[in-house]
Chain A
Amino acid sequence: MNTHWSSLVYTTFVMGALAVYLLMPRAGRSTNIAGTLIGMVALALAMFLCADMFVGTSSGNALFYASAVIALASAVKVITDEKPVYSALYFVLTVLAITPLLILQHAEFLAIALVIIYAGAILVTYVFVIMLAQQGGRPACDHRARQPLLAVVGGFLTMAVIAGQMATLPDEQAVIVAAAPAPTSDAPLAEPDNTMQVGSVMLTQYVVAFELAGVLLLVAMIGAIAMSQKRIPSEKLVEPTKPPGQIGREVGPY
């Protein structure tokens, strides 16, 4: 690891932070060209840094860059877009763009599980709640970010620390490419053993955590059902005067 490389990493983060800060929604301004430009430069720098680290096949590389750029850009849009619905949809796009990255790491099961559960179920409900909540136009709080400076500094500081730590690890290439030894050929990524390995690890090594997570979800489900029950004080309950089937029987036709 050399200082030149590390300074590049930190420059990227500073530029990224600046870009996100400039892009944050403020009252009375919709787009920020400077922020967009700085963001693009930061994105290009990040990709350049990745090129230094990532070794793969040519088609895999193209896929990596495309989805990484889409994922990063849409992640920025999640927090900077003024329309909440668009934010949620950019979130969906981020999740979908991460999927190819996982597939490149030979984690097909994780990738598809992410799509099915996150994009296909959870985010649909997010999108829906936001759509339902936005029926009467957008409130003022959508037009400006709350504490943009603190949020940006905090977020990017954390990211920079993590990235810096990764960079100072003895063999940075090994860390980043650890999950997948670089494929030697353009062979189709058709190894089903990943799914099998995930399954067996879940039911042997991590069985306790797995079962605990299941129990937690069950408790959450029961809680949700209990909370959604409409509780009516019993004295307020009015029984119908006639049993169903009798009501309205003696009324003649109009």
Chain B
Amino acid sequence: MIRDEDIIVVDTPVLNAAERLYIPQIVAGMQVTLRHMFKKSITVQYPEQKRTLRLENYRGVHRLNRDEEGRVACVACFMCETACPAHCIHIVAEESPWDDREKYPLQFDIDELRCIYCGMCEEACPVDAIELTPEYNLVGRSRQEMVFDKEKLLKVYDQTKTEKPRKNPRITGYAGTGNRTEGQPTGDSH
């Protein structure tokens, strides 16, 4: 049962004699639509034209950044996998072959069909290794194809790095888990 005080009554305007015929209003409305008929359309013809996106915060396909030496920047800390609300990130960590960090991702899969493009992984990443790109044109022929593995994500980085460079390229690695190398800015310095 709806209570009286929950009802919000909107006052209708009191119409004058001519307006009660409806005709003047209808004519006025039709004038408006007629004017619009001759206006230039604002449609973006998508495959031929593309909108310019705000690169810094558009949330499209993920990429895995490379550091200056071309290695994968990820340190397999599982922060993104933990933060992900859609559980679409799967990481298999392995001991790092390089000495500036302990671990690196042997396998890094993102199910782009499960992903909700919320950007939490990007927020969570302590080394700014995972980022969302402005690339929204994402299609595939199978579900399997839409699960992006490490190579594919790195390839996305190669394709988009000129358009949107990595946020903090100086963050490269850890000397050990939890120990940031000296002189490096914190992850949220941007």
Contact = CB atoms under 8 A, between A and B. Distances in A.
A25 B55 CA distance: 76
Chain A, interface size: which category? 10 to 19
B9 interface: yes
A249 to B, nearest CB: 8
Interface residues of B, number: 7
A139 interface: no
A247 B5 contact: yes
Contacts of A248: 4-9
Contacts of B4: 240-242, 247-248
A53 to B, nearest CB: 58
A245 B11 contact: yes
Interface string B98-116: 0000000000000000000
**Max chain B CB contacts within 10 Å: which of A240, A245, A247, A250?**
A247
A247 B11 contact: no
Interface string B1-22: 0001111110100000000000
A247 to B, nearest CB: 5
A248 B9 CA distance: 7
A96 to B, nearest CB: 37
Interface in B1-59: 4-9, 11
A242 B6 CA distance: 13
B95 to A, nearest CB: 54
A240 B5 CA distance: 11
Interface of A: 240-242, 244-248, 250-251
6 contacts: A240-B4, A241-B4, A244-B9, A245-B9, A248-B8, A251-B8
